[in-house]
Amino acid sequence: MGWADLVVRLIDGVNEHIGRLTSYIILPMLAVMIYEVIMRYYFQAPTIWGTEMITFLFAGYTLMGAGYAHLKNAHVNMNALYGRFSQRTQAVCNLVTWIGFLAYCGVLFYESSRFFWDVFSSGRASGTDWNPKLWPVVITLPLGVLLLLLQGIAKLIRDIRRVASRWEERG
């Protein structure tokens, strides 16, 4: 097993683990939704934090799951044409589009990291009645993009090997 295999397995493992952990965010999100509905409609006493908490949890859920979704090929692609290609031709298409993926993730990671640092260092809060600090949810953007970028690197390694026909995809 070479260094590329180790890198791919490490990235896949990290995203698999984080993706599975992130999937459990749905449980507190659901609990807050149910609590909010009960308080609002049965007791006419809506919370000042429920909707915002649900939004924050959903942001973490989607952003931290981006790498996992890429690992599982769950992102949208043009499958009408792409799905008819051989695995090798699909890999060539992936290599061609990887530059755009890298540019997008690179800019998004850079800007979201700057945004996080600004929010964190200024102590910015949401400005609502609840007024929680924003950095715990904002940090999920650069972390999620980093996980997506890392999974993109793992996919790049697989695609290079597939094009070079030296590596068989293992389950």
**Confidence class for position 168, pLDDT limits 50, 70, 90:** low
Q: What's the pLDDT score for residue 170? A: 47
Residue 25 domain-assigned (yes or no)? yes
* Residue 171, in any domain of the structure: no
How would you classify residue 87: left for phi > 0, otherwise alpha for psi between -120 and 50, otherwise beta?
alpha
> 9 pLDDT exceeds 80?
yes
Which pLDDT score, from 0 to 100, does residue 85 have?
86
Residue 91 placed within a domain: yes
Q: 32 in a domain, yes or no? A: yes
Domains in the chain: how many in total?
1
C-alpha distances (whole Å) from 40 to each of 7, 32, 62 are 49, 12, 26
124-153 mean pLDDT: 98
DSSP string, 21-38: HHHTTHHHHHHHHHHHHH
* Mean residue pLDDT across the chain: 93
**Residue 170 covered by a domain:** no
Asked whether residue 169 is assigned to any structural domain, the reply reads no
Confidence of residue 68 (pLDDT cuts 50, 70, 90): very high
User: What is the reported pLDDT for 171?
Assistant: 42
Residue 19 lies in a domain: yes
Q: Residue 150's pLDDT band (boundaries 50, 70, 90)? A: very high
Reading the block at residue 39, the tokens are 């308080």
Least confident of 36-45, 67-76, 102-111, 118-127: 67-76
Q: Mean pLDDT, to the nearest integer, of 82-87?
A: 83
Residue 144 is part of which domain span? 3-164
